[in-house]
Chains A and B, each alone.
Chain A
Amino acid sequence: EAGVAQSPRYKIIEKRQSVAFWCNPISGHATLYWYQQILGQGPKLLIQFQNNGVVDDSQLPKDRFSAERLKGVDSTLKIQPAKLEDSAVYLCASSPRTGGYTEAFFGQGTRLTVV
């Protein structure tokens, strides 16, 4: 089965610019996660979708970050405007269903460098 696809793999932007990341989860997966991983730290959950609804965005910096999941499938994460501290790897993951045991499958991530 195809895995979680993310693009681009790498992105370099200047501070105050905008950037968008795209994620295509595994087909049929109801739950989609976006994580931010700063170098040397564990991944931090930014937002969690259940189908096309948000169920947790408590750690999303909403003044600059936004995310959407169209038709409960693909998702985009946007940063506008970017700051130097946004330099990180942005990971997308998906899970098969809501109930019971939910293993999350991760993409390879997008490495963002803000200069």
Chain B
Amino acid sequence: DAKTTQPTSMDCAEGRAANLPCNHSTISGNEYVYWYRQIHSQGPQYIIHGLKNNETNEMASLIITEDRKSSTLILPHATLRDTAVYYCIVRVPGNAGGTSYGKLTFGQGTILTVHP
């Protein structure tokens, strides 16, 4: 799986948008970009994933650059409960033929602190 680079920490004011960058310059054509977050004392939680188009769900938006070498996770209106470690992961999805099993490899992540 391709390596990702994220800032160690970021701050955000409550109610403002939080924009978390991720660099994945060695990403391959069939690798997806996934984002997970981990709130203190809990297991990681899936947020969103994408291949090359921008994606949005009830939690966040994912913006992937045209060359796919970087992406940004956007939390549109951050709350105190969004304080967590955010992990950007690139991975090949598993396939039914069994030649790829969708290994999920975590890096250090970005510590996002949302303050009042």
Given contacts A100-B95, A102-B94, contact A55 B43 (CB under 8 A): no
Q: Is the CB of A45 within 8 A of B49?
A: no
A97 to B43, CA, bound (A): 20
> Which residues does chain A contribute within 8 Å of B104, judged by CB atoms?
33, 45, 93, 104
Chain A, interface residues (CB within 8 Å), range: 20 to 34
Mask: chain B, 24-64; 1 = CB below 8 Å from A; 0 = not: 00000000100000000111111001000000000000000
User: Number of B residues contacting the other chain (C-beta, 8 Å)?
Assistant: 24
A72 at the B interface (CB under 8 A):
no
Q: Is the CB of A42 within 8 A of B87?
A: yes
> Which residues does chain A contribute within 8 Å of B87, judged by CB atoms?
42
B15 at the A interface (CB under 8 A):
no
Give the Cβ gap from A113 to chain B, nearest Cβ, in Å.
14
B107 at the A interface (CB under 8 A):
yes
A44 at the B interface (CB under 8 A):
yes
Q: Is the CB of A45 within 8 A of B103?
A: yes
A109 to B107, CA, bound (A): 18
Q: Is the CB of A100 within 8 A of B42?
A: no
> Which residues does chain B contribute within 8 Å of A97, judged by CB atoms?
94
Mask: chain A, 103-115; 1 = CB below 8 Å from B; 0 = not: 1111111000000
A99 to B49, CA, bound (A): 15
> Which residues does chain A contribute within 8 Å of B95, judged by CB atoms?
98-100
Mask: chain A, 62-90; 1 = CB below 8 Å from B; 0 = not: 00000000000000000000000000000
Q: Is the CB of B43 within 8 A of A101?
A: no
The list of the 9 closest CB pairs from A to B, nearest first, reads: A106-B43, A42-B106, A99-B96, A98-B94, A102-B102, A55-B101, A103-B46, A43-B106, A106-B44
Interface residues of B (CB under 8 A from A): 32, 41-46, 49, 85, 87, 93-96, 98, 101-109
Interface residues of A (CB under 8 A from B): 4, 31, 33, 35, 41-45, 48, 50, 55-56, 91, 93, 95, 97-109
Query: Can you report 13 A-B residue pairs in the complex whose CB atoms are below 8 A from each other?
Result: A31-B94, A33-B104, A35-B106, A42-B109, A50-B101, A56-B101, A91-B43, A98-B98, A100-B95, A100-B96, A103-B46, A103-B49, A104-B46
